[in-house]
Amino acid sequence: MEFLDLPPATHAVGSVRLPGSKSLSNRFLLLAALAEGETAIRDLLLSDDVERMLEALMALGIDWRRGEDNDFQVSGADGVFPVKQAELFLGNAGTAFRPLTAALALSNGHYRLSGVPRMHERPIGDLVDALRQLGADIRYLGNEGFPPLEIRPAAIRAGGRVTVRGEASSQFLTALLMALPLTGAGTTVEVVGELISKPYIDITLKLMAHFGVAVEREGWREFRLPAGARYRSPGTVFVEGDASSASYFLAAGAIAGGPVRVEGVGRDSIQGDVRFAEALAAMGARIDMGPNWIEARAPTDGHLKAIDLDCNHIPDAAMTLAVAALFAEGTTRLRNIASWRVKETDRIAAMAAELRKLGATVEEGADYIAVSGGLTFVPNASIDTYDDHRMAMCFSLACLGGVPLRINDPQCVNKTFPEYFERFAGLVAPVIAIDGPSASGKGTVAARVAARLGFHYLDSGALYRLVALAAIRAGVPLEDGPALARIAETLPASFEDGRILLAGEEATEAIRSEACSAGSSKVAAHPAVRAALLGRQRAYRQAPGLVAEGRDMGSVVFPDASIKVFLTATVGARAERRHKQLIDKGMSVSIDTLLRDLRERDARDSARSVAPLQKCADAELLDTTAMTVEEAVEWVVARARQRLPQAVARP
């Protein structure tokens, strides 16, 4: 089993650009596929569930192309799908399975739809019953009421009334509404029983209207589709950031200082889960909102309070509240969440079991969960994730209890948010990236800044120097990229109290030799070596933060660094400093030789094709030609105090 160990953390600060919303991405894709005309979809979410939808649409004859980044172009079929026979595998993507079932049931073709075993345990009977009222021929291939399904050609009865049950999942009503324009007839849908998760229906109606189909609704009971309704592409559509994904970061800000800002959703969002911010505010968090961003900070007195909340309107984000509850005074009750039981896993049972591993007192009922706060966290809990992305993401917050914890099978976040853990690390372990040319003094400055702030320190140049040293010792030519990359991959390097060890042997001095200096800049020019060292460098990012120095810290290794400094000095000043250092060590080298060597290394580091030495656009220039080391350290520490006030608040 794979796992991810999260180190203890106490502060969360920074900002996160959210990935696109899953709900919007899959709805836009289906509507664009059924519409007349070409639709450009900007900022589509790239995740497992969206990939299942894209694959299915391709199998059904829909022409879509990926453009730059997350932009897609979809040629609509203007009605039913061109391919009349297909087998579709839809993984565990409810947002693909339900709407495609409805659209295909009205498409007069022969299709089979299946998913992962859990998908076959998630009910779909309410949707099938509704579609059968229209004459659809749908058969269960496994258990009655559950996928997999077979759909056969059938004469669809146009118009009239259809009933659909609303208590198990709002996705059944969404699926039915989105598919009904395929019949061309005016149809009235009546919801039987209490409709849950109403904000999701709101999203569906808004997107349908955007594609030219206006549904009239009578409260949440009756929905009327006009006769002759047809989807027409609105041209270009933009996918908002995922409001459910925002919940983890906002909660982190509320629990652990903040401010944490999410960008991509805000006051103008059409997603119901933005109301998660209100729930946090009710717990005492300080929330600020703009049209397209939300920011969360801990309460002024630092203490969150328990809440008692009907969570029907925010079913997904409510999971995040269950974990935030551990940090609140009192017992938090989250009610009206029966739908949790039929999601990616039985989320009420899973949540209760895993919260208890952290030491929490939890009461679970058919449709509620109660979690006691004020917890002393049990260290080293091993959290199971049940193939449920939201379990993995919300439990990551528990490391803010100041304890290490393990998240099992962390890759389940790929369902909606493949880069989740990197983004989370960015908040709890901010990076100060200091790049610059050789002998600029950045190593000394970075090490002292790290010591002042109590941050971890990464001397990335030492890794390249160690690869050069190991290669020279093993007789590997410094031009042999693949052989050097193999050395880099398994480099037995360790850093202990300022000492640098290679295979357990002291190499602190050896890697500073002129041979290693020249060798490391040759070694560093091989793309394969750089790739081999990337993961190792990123692993240094741990709470409370990291000061990383090198050539490409801000541009490649930590592009989301909170502070980026390009530290330099004239080549003359650098040669003089190195000259003085060498004299102090009792060595004598001519200043002209040093100047020539520095110029050669600058040229090689700047001219190489991968990760060249450069000042990235968002880095600040610090020219230390006329500065002392202390002044340079002060300059960086002052920036850190200003930008990362919570992270560096300790004495």
Binding site for ligand DC (CB under 6 A): 438, 460-461, 464-465, 520-521, 524, 550-552, 601, 605
Reply yes or no on whether 602 is catalytic. Answer: no
Q: Which amino acid is at 404?
A: P
Kindly state the smallest distance separating residue 429's Cβ from ligand DC, in Å.
18
Q: At its nearest, how many Å lie between ligand DC and the CB of residue 208?
A: 51
CB-nearer residue toward ligand DC: 22 or 522: 522
H or E element at residue 452: helix 442-453
Q: Which two tokens stand for residue 442?
A: 């950045």
In sequence order, which residues have a C-beta less than 8 Å from that of residue 586 and are 6 or more positions away? none
Q: Which residues pair with 335 in a beta bridge?
A: 310, 368
Considering beta carbons, is residue 27 or 551 the nearer one to ligand DC? Answer: 551
Q: Which is nearer to ligand DC, 21 or 438 (CB)?
A: 438
In the complex with ligand DC, the residue whose CB is nearer, 14 or 550, is: 550
Distance between CA 416 and CA 472 in Å, rounded?
46
**Least gap, CB of 609 to ligand DC (angstroms):** 12
**Tokens 């944490």 belong to residue:** 260
Q: Rounded to the nearest whole angstrom, what is the least distance from the CB of residue 559 to ligand DC in the complex?
A: 13
By C-beta, is 552 or 560 nearer to ligand DC? Answer: 552
The pair of structure tokens assigned to 27 is 């709805």
Which residue, 411 or 508, is less far from ligand DC as judged by CB? 508
Rounded to an integer, what distance in angstroms lies between the CA atom of residue 434 and that of residue 538? 15
Euclidean distance between CA atoms 211 and 181, whole angstroms = 11
Residue with tokens 């997904």: 316
Place of tokens 């198990």: 168
Residue of 117, 118, 142 whose CA lies nearest to 128:
142
**Rounded CA separation 325/394 (Å):** 11
Q: How far is the CB of 605 from ligand DC (least distance, A)?
A: 5
Strand partners, 620: 565
**Closest distance between ligand DC and the C-beta of residue 344, in Å?**
40
Q: Are 140 and 146 in contact (CB under 8 A)?
A: yes
Dihedral angle sign, alpha carbons of residues 528, 531, 533, 535 = negative
CB of 443 to ligand DC, least distance (A): 6
Would you say 166 or 550 has its CB closer to ligand DC? Answer: 550
| Count of alpha carbons within 13 angstroms of residue 191, beta-carbon side | 25
Please identify, using beta-carbon distances, which residue of 95 and 438 lies nearer to ligand DC: 438
**Backbone dihedral angles phi then psi of residue 604, each to the nearest 5 degrees:** -65, -45
SS (H, E, C) 246-288: HHHHHHHHHHCEEEEEEECCCCCCCCHHHHHHHHHHHCCCEEE
DSSP 197-243: -HHHHHHHHHHHHHTT-PPEEETTTEEEEPTT---B--SEEEPPB-H
CA dihedral 483, 484, 490, 493 (to 10 degrees): 150
> Please, is 84 exposed, middle or buried when counting C-beta atoms within 10 Å of its C-beta (0-12, 13-18, 19+)?
middle
Q: How far apart are CA 459 and CA 502, in angstroms?
A: 15
For residue 210, how many C-alpha atoms fall within 13 Å in the half-sphere facing its CB? Answer: 20
CA contacts within 13 A on the Cβ side of 196: 21
Distance CA 336, CA 197 (A): 10
The residue from 316, 409, 435, 552 that is catalytic is 316
Amino acid 335 reads R
Residue 43's identity, in one-letter code, is: D
For residue 554, what is the enclosing H or E element? none
Rounded Cα distance, 129 and 134, in Å: 9
With H, G, I as helix, E, B as strand and everything else as coil, classify residue 609.
coil
Q: How far is the CB of 268 from ligand DC (least distance, A)?
A: 41
Q: Quick one: which of 156, 162, 171 has its CA closest to 124? A: 171
For residue 160 the two structure tokens come to 């009239």
Residue among 382 and 593 whose Cβ is closer to ligand DC? 593
Which of 52/551 has CB closer to ligand DC?
Answer: 551
**Which residue(s) pair with 11 in the sheet?**
none
Least distance from C-beta 550 to ligand DC, angstroms?
A: 2
22 versus 551: smaller Cβ distance to ligand DC = 551
Closest CA to 125 of 139, 115, 114, 107: 139
CB of 505 to ligand DC, least distance (A): 19
Q: How far is the CB of 556 from ligand DC (least distance, A)?
A: 8
Tell me how many degrees the CA angle 330-428-643 measures, rounded to the nearest 5.
110
**Cβ closer to ligand DC: 22 or 442?**
442
Q: Which of 82, 95, 93 is nearest to 28 (CA)?
A: 95
Least distance in angstroms from the C-beta of 540 to ligand DC: 12
Catalytic residue numbers read 316
